A and B are shown apart, each in its own frame.
Chain A
């Protein structure tokens, strides 16, 4: 079993749609969780941290379920500029970050 698993997609959605990405992780001792965004041929960039109580940043909402070892990212009112690959990231021991394979999102006009 991979340490961090994501649905690779691609997710093809129209502008304005709501889209949700899911991620599961295997290490129950993980303490820090993040969503990164990576555009084609660019570096991964931090989108948002994920907190136990859930958190929101504009159109983006992240949720964490420690009991199920599950993380989600919800994007509302999707824009063309949201097209990218979204990486679920979980810390392992000693600060190593484990990256999922990423979920590709394509928002169409």
Chain B
């Protein structure tokens, strides 16, 4: 079975550039989550969707970050403009029932902003 698929696996870009991270959740899962992980702050939830609708975006650090889920099989996380402090590993996860089911993570995108 295909797991959560994220792309790209690695991204290195200069500050000020737009960055778009992509995620395909597991088929049949109706909740999708975007996380950011750094050594200093650990794993932080940025935003999550249920049935393609954003439910809680309180973890999005600032207006430079935006996320969309146009359909059940695709989501994007965009950073514009990017800054060096955005460098982190960004994970996407999905679950079948967000209240009781565990989440399954993609391999992550390792983002470096120079």
Contacts and interface: CB of A to CB of B under 8 A. Distances in A.
B112 interface: no
Most buried by A among B95, B97, B98, B106: B98
Contact of B55 (A32, A94, A98): A94
Contacts of B107: 42-43
A59 interface: no
A46 B104 CA distance: 7
B98 A102 contact: no
A21 interface: no
Interface string B101-113: 0111111100000
B102 A49 contact: yes
B contact face: mostly helix, strand, loop, or mixed: strand
User: Which of the four size classes fits the interface of chain B?
Assistant: 20 to 34
Contacts of A97: 33, 45, 103
Contacts of A101: 42
Given A95-B31, A101-B42, A46 B56 contact: no
B100 A32 contact: yes
Contacts, number: 50
A44 B42 contact: no
A70 interface: no
A91 interface: yes
B85 interface: no
Interface in A11-32: 31-32
Nearest to B42: A101
B102 to A, nearest CB: 5
A44 B105 contact: yes
12 contacts: A44-B91, A46-B102, A46-B103, A46-B104, A91-B100, A95-B55, A95-B99, A96-B45, A96-B98, A97-B33, A99-B42, A100-B42
Interface of B: 31, 33, 42-43, 45, 48, 50, 55-56, 91, 95, 97-100, 102-108
Shortest Cβ-Cβ A-B pairs, 10 listed: A95-B98, A43-B105, A99-B43, A46-B102, A95-B99, A101-B42, A32-B100, A34-B102, A44-B105, A43-B108
